[in-house]
Amino acid sequence: MGLPMKPNIELDRGRHAAPQLYELLRAQIVSLALEPGAPLSRVQLSAEFNVSQTPVREALLKLTEEKLVDVFPQAATRVSLIDIEFAQETHFLRRAIELEIVRELALSRPPQLINELKVLLSRHEALRDKPDLAGFSQTDEAFHRCMYQAVGRDGLWSLVHSRSGHIDRLRRLHLPARGKLERIISDHAQLLAAIERADVQQAQEALRTHLSGTLEYVEKIRQAHPQYFTRR
């Protein structure tokens, strides 16, 4: 099974192929276009993207390091099933980092960041009304990434991002739930308002509420899609 795209999609020949393949495959995995457990063929991916197997192998290796792909030697390569324990560990790490980030932001209230977050919040509302779940997810990610960048913690964003595939897939499964988009927008609005008025306690509380929004429903999500999850 390959990507749900046109065969022989053209990559940017001015860039190395492996990072592009990684980005494309990762986006398809996180969006669930490539479902947990889906087989991946290096030969087919090589043909679809019109590249040798070397960059395909490199892209799959990086996805393996992020626990998004499982390689079974001499057998098969598959999209990994969702590991709830790993998702919970990532949530713990991200919450610890972002609580400190929003504290710094509430104390400094950088005007440029506040304006950027307001633009993203407006974009959220527009995407909710379409609805555009893929665009909504990307804007949600951009909202948080802006905060890391505002305090000069891009390296920590890369760390969190490299571990986020499992929890991001949980969120994607939860996103169509009734009221979920509205809750995300409300959480972001409350967080932004607390930063604007320099209320550290409320900013951190809004963040805690926001980041726990999917894990509160993890058992319901697993019951609705049992085939997507690891068994422990």
H runs (alpha helix) in 81-212: 84-108, 111-129, 133-150, 154-163, 165-174, 180-196, 200-211
Average pLDDT of 56-63?
A: 96
Say what the pTM is: 0.90
122 and 207 assigned to the same domain: yes
What is the rounded distance in angstroms from the CA atom of residue 136 to the CA atom of residue 190?
A: 18
Assess whether pLDDT exceeds 60 at residue 1: no
The pLDDT, as a whole number, for residue 6 is 44
Specify the CATH number for the domain of residue 94.
1.20.120.530
How many structural domains is the chain composed of? 2
Assess whether pLDDT exceeds 50 at residue 7: no
Q: Are 2 and 43 in contact (CB under 8 A)?
A: no
Q: Is 131 left (phi over 0), alpha (psi -120 to 50) or beta?
A: beta
Containing domain of residue 189, as a range?
84-228
215 and 119 assigned to the same domain: yes
Residue 114 lies in a domain: yes
110 and 158 assigned to the same domain: yes
Average pLDDT of 80-109?
A: 97
Residue 204 tokens read as 């951190």
Tens digit of each residue's pLDDT (9 = 90 or more) over 149-193: 999 999 999 999 999 999 999 999 999 999 999 999 999 999 999
Q: Are 161 and 63 in contact (CB under 8 A)?
A: no
Assess whether pLDDT exceeds 70 at residue 24: yes
Residue 216 lies in a domain: yes
Look up residue 84 and give its amino acid: I
Assess whether pLDDT exceeds 60 at residue 82: yes
Alpha-carbon distances, residue 16 vs 101, 158, 161, 189 (angstroms): 33, 20, 21, 39
Task: Tell which residue, 42, 58, 53, has the closest CA to residue 2.
Answer: 42
Alpha-carbon distances, residue 216 vs 116, 202, 207, 210 (angstroms): 29, 20, 14, 11
52 and 132 assigned to the same domain: no
